[in-house]
Amino acid sequence: MISYAGESGNGKSYASRYLLKMLTSLDIDPLVSTSFTEKKVCGAAKTGNIMPLIFDDLKRERIREWEKWGKFYWDKGHAFDEPFAQLLVTANDPIDSQGPLGRRVREIWMDATFTPNGKNTEIVETCLEHASQIFPYFSAVLLDKYFSNQAPYDHSDPLKIGRDTITELYRIAARPKPKWWCERPYGDSVDTNAYLWFDNLNKEFFKTEWKGDAFVIHVEEAPHEINERLRGFKGHLKAKKASKSIIIKNGSEFIKWLKNVQTLYLENNGKITRKMKKLLKRRF
């Protein structure tokens, strides 16, 4: 399961259309939020059709419903030993990382914004008109690798076979890989929730303190707002609400979580405060 999340105006809808064009060579619109129901999705999964189910702009209420029936989709919602469709959605709201789908969904944050002007629209429409023809070659190499067991599925890094396939295509084409190409798993390279908390703490938006090995963030917000913030913490951090504060019981892992985005934050912002540096150097 893949979810592309991000604010409005960052190209998620166009990306969905582009993906469908690459897969089919046809101009097809993605499915809409109202069709994302347990009955329709599980019904499609049992037909044996492997055409991906791509839903665009999933509304918050659909995400809430999905967090209730999504686990069932993998446990009993499809016909075992039969092919079924990959699910792909785009949404403005992130998945609850501590909820039942937290470990079942690969969430990719699209952190970009495009000005809605004529020039950008023309660029996008041109891309859609002349979609890349790479998919048949990509899928052929990937499937050969998979069935020959050269690149078996790795649950901890499910996109590795895709990265290996792209590397092989560059080799076949005798072209160097671009400098921006990343060899690391997506989850090790980009963690939007960790990045946002790094930014919050670096800019001292909240008062903080240590209580033993637990890190306390005094949020001073309404209960529903604090609950929304809790959704972004990984489960192993053991983040809990306490009045108008958030207590992170696993403080040592929280520091490691923040350190994973330190390099990226420096590249984007260029400065880390003295207080933040002290926090990152804390020993346990």
Whether 59 has a pLDDT exceeding 70, the answer reads yes
With a cut of 80, say whether residue 100 has pLDDT above it. Answer: no
Q: Which of 9-13, 98-102, 149-153 has the lowest mean pLDDT?
A: 98-102
Give me the domains of the chain, ranges plus CATH numbers.
2-129 (3.40.50.300), 134-172 (no CATH), 191-280 (1.10.10)
Strand order from edge to edge, sheet including 2-5? 53-58, 87-91, 2-5, 106-109
For range 89-93, the mean pLDDT: 88
User: How much is the mean pLDDT over the chain?
Assistant: 87
Cα 141 from Cα 128, distance rounded (Å) = 24
pTM of the prediction?
Answer: 0.73
Residue from 196, 269, 261, 198 nearest 231 by CA: 196
Q: What is the SS3 assignment for 85?
A: coil
CB 118 within 8 A of CB 85: no
Q: What is the pLDDT of residues 234-250, one digit of tens each?
A: 889 999 999 899 999 99
Q: Band of the pLDDT at 45, cuts 50, 70, 90?
A: confident
Contact 236, 253 (CB under 8 A): yes
Question: Looking at 14-28, 46-60, 99-113, which range is the least confident one?
Answer: 99-113
**What pLDDT is recorded for position 78?**
64
β-sheet with 245-248: strand ranges across: 207-211, 214-218, 245-248, 239-242
How many helices, marked H, and strands, marked E, lie in the chain?
12, 8
Place of tokens 């609850």: 96
Q: Cβ distance 101 to 95 under 8 Å? A: yes
How confident is residue 153, by pLDDT bands cut at 50, 70 and 90? confident
Distance CA(253)–CA(258), nearest Å, equals 9
Contact predicate 129/22, CB 8 Å = no
High-pLDDT (> 70) share of the chain, %: 97
pLDDT in tens, 64-84: 888 888 877 777 766 667 777
